[in-house]
Amino acid sequence: MKLLLTSAGLRNATLLDTLRTMLDQPFAAANVVYIPTASMAEPGDHGWVLDDMTRVRALGWREFDILELNGLPPELVRARLRHADVIYVSGGNHYHLARSITRNDLAAAFLEALETRVYVGLSAGSMLFSRNLNEHGADVLGDAADLHLLGATTVEPPFARFDWYLKPHLYSPDFPDRDDTWADTIAARADFPIYFIDDDTAIRVDGDHLDVVSEGRWRLTPADHGGGPRT
């Protein structure tokens, strides 16, 4: 499994070079599927989705596909995932994204595809792999309102691969409350490891190896958590 879990997408040369290395072929020879599902539950201006989609498309893929996970037959979604070399999952409401995968019975299709493909996550798309993506995790992270917005009180982690959680947009001007005090408050009540990463940082998972790729800042709590994926 090859994962590049970003806070805000492919925003700098280091993250782009990392993806090139993980893909092991030119972008021009590869197909990408862009999944904007998480953004569908977000109100307000969606220009940020279009900006990111444009930025990804401008990398010059052989084929650029856009795939919504809801409303299509599961077999069609599976075929589109298999056709891609890179599965790019954008941001928004990560609970809506998780529920879209589980309710449409797509978790196995994603995991099968990721045996041989590269996954790139942006924000919500990067938060799907923790087994702590549940009601308890929502209380710890203080974002249960995003779950209740959906008229839901429970959520099932679609993949449940890792014990650690990723929290994006640390120090981001778009999220001015996400400073050290915010991270400290969450860390004080957390009973699982959390990576807080800024918009120039990503977590790279390649098989059993995990590392942080960054031109910015990040922090891990507790600090003595090991470097491996801990499946």
Q: Is residue 82 part of a domain?
A: yes
Q: How far is it between the farthest Cα atoms of the chain?
A: 46
Give the pLDDT of the chain (231 residues) as one tens digit per residue: 999 999 999 999 999 999 999 999 999 999 999 999 999 998 899 999 999 999 999 999 999 999 999 999 999 999 999 999 999 999 999 999 999 999 999 999 999 999 999 999 999 999 999 999 999 999 999 999 998 989 998 999 999 999 999 999 999 999 999 999 999 999 999 999 999 999 999 999 999 999 999 999 999 998 655 444 544
Number of domains in the chain: 1
Taking the C-alpha atoms of 194, 196, 202 and 206 in order, what is their torsion angle to the nearest 10 degrees? -10
- Give the position of tokens 């040369």: 13
CATH number of the domain that 118 lies in?
Answer: 3.40.50.880
Domain assignment present for residue 73? The answer is yes
Domain annotation covers residue 218: no
Short-list 208, 192, 22, 36, CA closest to 125 = 36
Helix (H, G, I), strand (E, B) or coil at 3: strand
Q: Which domain holds residue 19?
A: 2-162+188-193
Q: Is residue 229 part of a domain?
A: no
Sheet harboring 218-221: ordered strands across? Answer: 165-167, 194-197, 218-221
Could you tell me the two tokens for 61?
């893929």
Nearest 5°: CA angle at 99, between 95 and 105? 155
Burial 20-37 (b: 16+ CB within 10 A, else e): eebbeeebeebbbbbbbb
Residue 158 lies in a domain: yes
Instruction: Determine, yes or no, domain membership for 66.
Output: yes
Question: Is 106 a domain residue?
Answer: yes
In a domain, 177, yes or no: no
pTM of the predicted model as reported, rounded to 2 decimal places? 0.94
Q: Which residues contact 205 (CB under 8 A, 6 or more apart)?
A: 1, 2, 3, 5, 229
